[in-house]
A and B are shown apart, each in its own frame.
Chain A
Amino acid sequence: MEKGETVCPKIRGRRFFSCKAWMYGTENEGYNIRIRYRAGLPAQKGEAIRMNIYDILGPVMIGPSSSHTAGAVRIGLITRRLLGEEPAEARILLSGSFGATGRGHGTDRALAAGLLGMKPDDIRVPDSLSLAEEQGLKIVFELGEIKEAHPNTARLLVIGENGKRLEVQASSLGGGRIAVDELEGIRVSFTGEAPTLIVRNVDQPGCVAQVTGLLAERAINISTLQLYRDCRGGQALMIVEADQNIPGELLAQLRGLRGIRKAIYVNMEE
């Protein structure tokens, strides 16, 4: 990834940088890297979603709406997994169609169910608000409009039982599929459908190489790589989508690297 590292810091002049890199080639022939970058915009926005036959026949889900119910469960669930501990409090802003027709579609119950760790086909989804109360998870829903957001968007501020805080903005794209659009104030774009590694690091040379190097050693292939930072030398965010699962001990190893502040792993297919 050296090539990627020399290219990215040359982009100047904007607050947030987004950069998407594709690696192709083999270890013997050497890697080629193609990088696309834009300031402050999610790299994947507007790209068509590919549908396989189980996006057509499926998912198995609790009704009534794949976008307003099944997608909302997944937004809650990915938020829980990104937080990495039992959520104790959540403040959820429903925007666009989520706000307008969310109640009748059970969007509120679906988001709560996801926060409790349920999947879209869990028959307890309709009862999630009372289950949340039993389990001591406080949830406040608000209605509002988030500018320039997808019509089906929720913004969640969650606080875990050990005090971890996380702010996530995610949208439901249809058919139960979702995308995380903002993470801790930085605009991103990932779905969690592939094994996804989210790394917070200091913006300094070598961080990307260390992470991708460790993945390469374990024969984990990177399908996409996105890099973001707040300013030169500041806080950076790396989102790695991989073809293989990332084992727990590798995650621990990544967390111990110089310059790495935090590493989270999510795979919604698990």
Chain B
Amino acid sequence: MAFTALEEILKICAERHISFWEAVIQEDMRDRAVSREATWSQMETMWEAMLEASQSYEVGRRSDSGLVGGAGGQMEAYRKKGHSLCGERMGRVMAGALQMGESNACMKRIVAAPTAGACGVLPAVLVPLYQEGGFLREQVIEALFVAAGIGQVIASRAFISGAAGGCQAEIGSASAMAAGALVSLMGGTGEQMVTAAAISLKNLLGLVCDPVAGLVEVPCVKRNVIGAVNAMAAADMALAGIESRIPGDQVIDAMKEVGEAMHVSLRETGVGGLAGTKAAKEITERISGAQPPQAGL
């Protein structure tokens, strides 16, 4: 059985004198009965797909509903002017998150991480750092194993779908995965990876899933930005030596408790929260007027 606690991964790291990503690889080899080469090359495929997806953004494309599209281009153009409050690197992260979120809404090819709705978070932080040239491809693949290990623990202890636990389970989980991956990339310790994951998940605790018209568009696309920016901040805090007073596993358990207490109208039903606003209801009415299409008739 795969990992069920972050502490368990840290314990294995200490016992076997291995790094966090190596512990995740070894467990996957055992769990699925695959070779090291097989799992490594599968992760490389995921990274290639993320890179390709980040390059295939079309600035002029709009989703079928017309609700999203183009924001990734606007953010990129603004960043290039050089006056961004968040600076060069964070500007790239924000533009990347918007672009991937919009590509997803526009039915382009993406990598669910952990879900399609949260697919922008991980590539938004990893792609700019990789493209800046300071990191090897191998280091990025290792960071992806760290992210996958953290995500797996969250999935086994709590949930990773908005329908089950709200947006905190999707963007929150993606942010925790990305924060751990960033610490790995920066050469931090396993403990710092867990701390970064804990901080980023704590910061998004209680976030509800309230998609307008039930679509993965509003507010999902922009929440990818907050997941990515939050991951960068959490990783920096962990690397600065700041600790989380609540251990990572207990944060995940709290996320589960909060998600279970969340009213069903706030769990991907498209009923409460932003989805229940006057503007959202008008949008919903406009979209749902159409009949299902038929082919060949």
For A62, list chain B residues within 8 Å (CB).
107-110
User: Could you tell me the dominant secondary structure of chain A's interface residues?
Assistant: mixed
Q: B20-61 vs A: 1/0 string, CB under 8 Å?
A: 000010001001100000010011011001000000000000
Minimum CB–CB distance for B43 against chain A, Å: 7
User: If A51-B152, A139-B296 touch, does A56 touch B114 (CB 8 Å cutoff)?
Assistant: yes
User: If A63-B104, A63-B216, A112-B295 touch, does A101 touch B270 (CB 8 Å cutoff)?
Assistant: yes
B295 touches A138 (CB 8 A): yes
A65 at the interface (CB under 8 A from B): yes
For B45, list chain A residues within 8 Å (CB).
60
Which residues 162-203 of B have a CB within 8 angstroms of A? 163, 177
For B241, list chain A residues within 8 Å (CB).
none
A176 touches B109 (CB 8 A): no
Minimum CB–CB distance for B287 against chain A, Å: 6
Q: A112 to B43, alpha carbons, bound, how many Å?
A: 29
From A7-15, A123-131, A178-186, A212-220, give the one contacting chain B. A123-131
B155 at the interface (CB under 8 A from A): yes
Q: By the criterion of a CB under 8 Å from any partner CB, how many residues of chain B are at the interface?
A: 59
Q: A100 to B63, alpha carbons, bound, how many Å?
A: 18
Which residues 159-203 of A have a CB within 8 angstroms of B? 174-176
The one of A60, A61, A64, A130 in contact with B216, judged by C-beta atoms closer than 8 angstroms, is: A64
From B89-97, B143-151, B250-258, give the one contacting chain A. B143-151
User: Can you list 21 A-B contacts (CB < 8 A)?
Assistant: A52-B2, A52-B28, A52-B32, A53-B2, A53-B152, A54-B42, A54-B46, A56-B114, A56-B152, A56-B177, A57-B151, A60-B46, A61-B110, A63-B103, A63-B109, A64-B106, A104-B214, A112-B295, A133-B296, A139-B296, A176-B112
Known: A63-B107, A64-B106, A65-B216. 13 other contacts (CB 8 A): A50-B1, A53-B24, A53-B151, A56-B160, A58-B113, A60-B46, A63-B119, A104-B214, A106-B64, A109-B107, A121-B49, A133-B296, A175-B115
Name the 10 nearest CB pairs between A and B, nearest first: A63-B104, A101-B214, A56-B151, A53-B148, A138-B296, A64-B216, A126-B107, A141-B292, A60-B49, A129-B295
Query: Chain A residues in contact with chain B, CB under 8 A?
Result: 50-66, 69-70, 94, 97, 100-106, 108-109, 112, 121, 123, 125-126, 129-130, 132-133, 136-143, 174-176
